[in-house]
Amino acid sequence: MVNTTRKILTDAIREVAHPPTDRHTDYEPLLEMIGDARLVLLGEASHGTHEFYDTRTSITQRLITEKGFTAVAVEADWPDAYRVNRYVQGTSDDTTAHEALDSFQRFPLWM
């Protein structure tokens, strides 16, 4: 019974999965599913892998440039995130994005 259920679930996942190939077209099916949604949540399946964060970055960029999203919410330390928000809004003294991100010392820097 367990093996049968596992096979059914595995086959169902294989049928709808879109494995990434590092091409721009990788996320076309996802963007089509999003359609004209006003809210998209990108979960976190694994803390600690740069591949996941690279993928999330690519998807976020496409949501902004192709779907017109204007806000990104992240889990981060408030003062550091607020500094970045002020930079994005054009209300900070920071002159570059790197400068605005400079406060992130506790938050894993590679993320």
Q: Which residue has the higher pLDDT, 28 or 109?
A: 28
Per-residue pLDDT band for 108 (boundaries 50, 70, 90) equals low
- Return the domain boundaries, the chain: 21-103
Give one word for 74, left, alpha or beta, with left for phi > 0 and alpha for psi -120 to 50.
beta
Please report, rounded to a whole number, the percentage of residues in the chain having pLDDT higher than 90. 44
Give me the pLDDT at residue 46, please.
Answer: 66
Per-residue pLDDT band for 29 (boundaries 50, 70, 90) equals confident
Place of tokens 């049928």: 15
Place of tokens 């964060």: 53
Per-residue pLDDT band for 24 (boundaries 50, 70, 90) equals confident
Q: How many CB atoms lie within 10 A of CB 88?
A: 13
Q: What is the pLDDT of residues 30-62, one digit of tens each?
A: 899 999 999 998 877 666 677 788 888 889 999
Are 43 and 54 in contact by the 8 Å Cβ rule? The answer is no
Residue 63 CB-density burial (10 A; 0-12 exposed, 13-18 middle, 19+ buried): buried
Q: What is the pLDDT of residues 73-103, one digit of tens each?
A: 887 888 888 999 999 999 999 999 999 988 8
